[in-house]
Structure 1
Amino acid sequence: MLRRLGFTEAQERSVLQAHEPIEGASVQPNSKRPKGMLVVDSFLPGTQAEELLRPGDVLLRLDGQPCLVFADLDDRLDSRVGQEVPLLISRAGAEMELRLKVADLHELIPHDFVECAGGVFHQLSYHTCKRFHISVQERGVFVVQSGFGFGLELPYHAVISGVAGCAVSSLGDFSQALAKVADGDTFEVAWYNPTTNERRKKRSSVRMERTL
């Protein structure tokens, strides 16, 4: 597979040499022959990785050192959250040096939710963004449970992008927009279904039910 990605024999020799024993050294590199290389499969939309990396890029070095297993990659990135790390990659056989800032994925995990008219809503998580290929820069509000107020119009999995004429990109936007709607009033909700390829923006009328 690596040959199909343009990985050259010279690059392979370089990786193997990095794992050969060093005569007289007190600390030796991992002497086990590498079973493969780390290859970019996909990336989170709306991130720096999407701008700089391409599927099929082969990771040669991370921060100047070989990195061949996921556990090693995970440990190194965890220790550099919020910092830039230099990468050496092979793209179709050509070596490229890149610098990527390590994002904090915990910031993209929902920690709060809103309940309204029997429905439950939270900020779109990075897991959902990755699963449905949604940009993390355009995160709306995810419908966890439609409830009796939204259930007739919005399906589970819908992503809300507007409420009562107000743009919604965060849970705070969603809460503020709902607070302006009086009980019993009908308001418009802009949304789309990320589980379909079409993802056409839709608009539905919802009746506010605060007393049930």
Structure 2
Amino acid sequence: MVLTRLPLLTGMAQELRRAPFPLTEHWRRVGNWFDRRVRCPGLRDELRHYLRTLPPQAAAAVADRSRETTTHYAWCLLDRPEDEFSFWLHEYKPQRDWRHGYADSVHNHRYHFCTTILSGGYEHERYDVALDPDGHLVDSAVLRHSIVCRRGASGALLAHEFHRIPRAADNTMTFLVKSRPVRGWSLSYDPITASSQRHVPVEARLGELVERM
């Protein structure tokens, strides 16, 4: 019998679907799996092949699910509602085109994620933060760790952890697996102005919109 290797995303998705535990509750284990999985040679080539061979309808779905931020383009490669995860590519803009307030702010996320650098690199900072009594804003942030990450580096971040990418090399691109949201919002903090914001996704604000009409 001839065995054929599954395409990268298909194989990774099947492995995550077979996990004998809830992914969001054991994301550190997902991080260990991801670190081993992305060390396979030719990761970027396989992702390039995946994108080039997408049927037109699937390519349109990728474009429709993706979005632009002030610092990068977030391309959603695979996202099935029944899955506990989604796959993404982040294409960082040249530093000269960044607009202040996204990756370069101190922030957390509504979801857990794992990431690896496909090309380029960036400076990555982790922070210890103090929240206001309601937990809705950041009162202060203290730098805990800073490292320059280059192609091939990988890591995981939980939703309650705060980080910052103050600088990225041109042509930096990363591959990520994200969990489903585990929080209703995320927070950001500007270390220059010491101001904080709470970010609620627009789809979660529909009820508030109705009340304001």
**TM-score normalised by L of structure 1:** 0.25
Which one scores higher on RCO, CA 8 angstroms, separation ≥ 6? 2
Structure with the largest fraction of strand: 2
Structure with the largest fraction of helix: 2
Q: Which of structures 1 and 2 has the bigger CA Rg? A: 1
**TM-score normalised by L of structure 2:** 0.25
